[in-house]
Chain A
């Protein structure tokens, strides 16, 4: 690139470079003020997520939603400013969201059998070395929670 520039008039070199569609999408230069503001916001949100998780009691679900909500905001800041997504073609943002959706589906599919897995593959109690006891207790627990449809239903009701 630099050799081209040196053998051409500056104007012609600039024109040639401007026609280069590949580099043109990257031409947004973030100001230092913006980058520093994003860093400060990210560090502040990290402090906030530690604080809400440890000292603000919103219930198990509430705290989880708060922690993930803050994480989504942080990831959004990184993607929008550090990764220049905000100043890029809209298509890139759509591709990102599509990928996130795909990841979401993949994770969701691994959870399909969460309610019934214990019926066929009881988790062993590793450190007490008493797998039978734990798996039985767990299977009973599952039955009591309504997972009994997978097994022959016991005759007597608890």
Chain B
């Protein structure tokens, strides 16, 4: 029940590693900005928190723009959809719809969390500017940061597993 040949072919055929790698870099940079933002919160620099978290949110928007614009929309147009929705005309292996099912469920769930994260980051940035945080009171900054790092870590695993299937 393993279909390595289908998955290997599908990764090459359906996904561009360049888009995946670019999105990986975008998320890593955003994670760095969030870590920097937490440092600013510890040092009591509210503008540092606000700018870093806003930048990280923009990275999240860039991630989603690349994902939706260059992957989801063309895929929907070509019928490269999961399981029974699949109606792509140039498939190679009978089990490629399984690959696309995994791709869609995994990346859409991840993408939803990126979208949620964008709003949370902007919310924290706004609160930072309102002076809600101090060097010893920045739990929201820290926790939203941790959430964003986890979203990044999930992508660190999704990228090689989907885009670089060996």
Question: Interface of A with B (CB < 8 Å)?
Answer: 1-2, 17, 20, 22-23, 26-27, 29-30, 32, 35-36, 38-39, 42-43, 46-47, 49-50, 53-54, 58, 60-64, 66-68, 70-71, 74-75, 78-79, 81-84, 114-118, 123-128, 134, 142
Contacts and interface: CB of A to CB of B under 8 A. Distances in A.
A74 B149 CA distance: 12
Contact of B94 (A43, A67, A125): A125
A50 B31 contact: no
Contact of A75 (B4, B87, B89, B157): B157
Contacts of B166: 53, 58, 60-64, 66-67
B136 A30 contact: no
B65 interface: no
Given A39-B28, A53-B166, A118-B1, A127 B88 contact: yes
A150 to B, nearest CB: 12
Contact of B43 (A29, A71, A128): A29
Contacts of A118: 1
B157 A23 contact: no
Given A26-B138, A68-B160, 17 more contacts: A1-B134, A17-B136, A30-B39, A32-B36, A35-B32, A39-B32, A46-B21, A62-B166, A67-B164, A71-B156, A75-B153, A79-B149, A82-B149, A83-B145, A123-B94, A126-B86, A128-B94
Range of interface residues on B (Cβ < 8 Å):
35 or more
Contacts of A22: 139
Contacts of A84: 38
Contacts of A36: 32
B89 to A, nearest CB: 7
A17 B134 CA distance: 11
B29 interface: yes
Contacts of A67: 160-161, 164, 166
Interface in B43-85: 43, 83-84
Where chain B touches its partner, the secondary structure class is helix
Interface of B: 1-2, 4, 8, 17, 21, 24-25, 28-29, 31-32, 34-36, 38-39, 42-43, 83-84, 86-89, 91, 94-95, 97-98, 131, 134, 136-139, 142, 145-146, 149, 152-153, 156-157, 159-161, 164, 166
A42 B87 CA distance: 38
Contacts of A32: 36, 39
A127 B91 contact: yes
B109 to A, nearest CB: 14
Nearest to B12: A54
A74 B35 contact: no
A50 to B, nearest CB: 5
Contact of B164 (A53, A75, A123, A125): A53
